[in-house]
Structure 1
């Protein structure tokens, strides 16, 4: 498997737009992000250039437009970040994380019910 690049939180916001709407032009990315961020178009373009240098996205030029597509799959990136999170804070195990949440009363009754349902579904599938 190809190495997945490290992506900053801001770059991740750009990636979410690219993952959801690819192929997508620079102007469309800016338009989507302007709904939730106060970043300048130049800042967004800089992040897109960084993402391309990191190997997370690629572009092709159509007329005067740059059209972006992801190289890194969203599922692969989220899986890597989830594993990094578990390794960093919970010794690499989901059990340690859930135990921490249970011991610190961070799980509501609804959360517990949903976890039980997920585990039951997983058990049925094997």
Structure 2
């Protein structure tokens, strides 16, 4: 079970990706980074930052003249929480059903199959995915 991490919207993920890669950052630095890849207005980005702070996903260093923002959860923790939420919502918690569907619909290379086998062999307690 993953820590109880608040849900993050698709737009908020964009902000988080910037912070995971470069934190701590000022709001203006986040805005500059996101304006390279989006057409979002500075006010939109500030709103997203504020939302993430209110959700307790992003922290703020307030001990400096200019506030800086930093993630309170790792990218891995957020990805795990999102995956768990997705599996519960879409597959009613049945990870096996999701994996079977992806494997049947994706073309897996020999290397992909080898990697999947290696993962299962390293985690014998996870072989019986239900």
Say whether 1:14 aligns with 2:15: yes
Hey, what does 2:41 align to over in structure 1?
40
Q: Which runs of 5+ in 1 are unaligned?
A: none
Superposition deviation, residue 71 in structure 1 = 1.8
Hey, what does 1:72 align to over in structure 2?
73
Count of aligned pairs between the two proteins: 121
Hey, what does 1:106 align to over in structure 2?
106
Q: Give me the whole-angstrom Cα distance separating, in 1, the residues matched to 2:73 and 2:47.
A: 18
SS at match of 1:4: coil
Superposition deviation, residue 78 in structure 1 = 1.2
Are the structure 2 counterparts of residues 47 and 34 from structure 1 closer, same or farther at C-alpha, using a change threshold of 3 Å?
same
1:1-41 CA distance string (max 9 Å, x none): 86311211101110111122111111211121112111111
Q: Give me the whole-angstrom Cα distance separating, in 2, the residues matched to 1:87 and 1:50.
A: 24
Structure 1 runs (4+) deviating above 4 angstroms are: none
Superposition deviation, residue 121 in structure 1 = 4.1
Q: Which runs of 5+ in 2 are unaligned?
A: 125-130
Q: Give me the whole-angstrom Cα distance separating, in 1, the residues matched to 2:107 and 2:115.
A: 10
1:86-111 CA distance string (max 9 Å, x none): 112223233211211234x3232343
Aligned-CA RMSD value: 2.1
TM-score by length of 2: 0.79
Does the 8 Å contact 1:101/1:107 carry over to 2?
Answer: no
SS at match of 1:72: coil
